[in-house]
């Protein structure tokens, strides 16, 4: 079974631009979560989608948004990029509503100049 895939793998943007990252979950998984990983803050939860609905949201500004499509693929968007948004963005998918194990993709490395 194919794992979680994320595109693009690497991205360089400048301050003020916006970016869209994509995540395809494991086949059959309907829950997709997004995390930001930085050396200083570690892994922090951004938001989670299940069946096209946002179930949870972390403590990030409104510049960070996401959505999920009917095929469970998900996108996250960051508008008005700041230098501090440079990070590894990770997507994870899971299959059940409760006690679900989240399987991570390889991540998208975003560098904001």
Partner 1 sequence: EDQVTQSPEALRLQEGESSSLNCSYTVSGLRGLFWYRQDPGKGPEFLFTLYSAGEEKEKERLKATLTKKESFLHITAPKPEDSATYLCAVQLNDYKLSFGAGTTVTVRA
- Residues within the interface to partner 1 (CB under 8 A): 4, 33, 35, 42-45, 48, 55-56, 58, 90, 92, 97-107, 109
What's the min distance (Å) between Cβ of 80 and partner 1?
26
105 with 5: CB under 8 angstroms? yes
Kindly tell me which of 90 and 110 has the beta carbon lying closer to partner 1. Answer: 90
What's the min distance (Å) between Cβ of 100 and partner 1?
7
What's the min distance (Å) between Cβ of 101 and partner 1?
6
The full DSSP string for 7-60 is E-SEEEE-TT--EEEEEEPPTT--EEEEEEEETTTEEEEEEEEETTEEEEE-S-
């Amino acid at each position: 079974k194919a794992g979680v895939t994320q595109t693009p793998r690497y991205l360089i943007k400048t301050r003020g631009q916006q970016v869209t990252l994509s995540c395809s979950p494991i086949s059959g998984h309907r829950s997709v979560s997004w995390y930001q990983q930085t050396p200083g803050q570690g892994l922090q939860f951004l938001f989670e989608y299940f069946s096209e609905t946002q179930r949870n949201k972390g403590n990030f500004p409104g510049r960070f948004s996401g959505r999920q499509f009917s095929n469970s693929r998900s996108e996250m968007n960051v508008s008005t990029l700041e230098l501090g948004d440079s990070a590894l963005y990770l997507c994870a998918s899971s299959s059940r509503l409760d006690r679900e194990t989240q399987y991570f993709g390889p991540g998208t490395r975003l560098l904001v100049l």
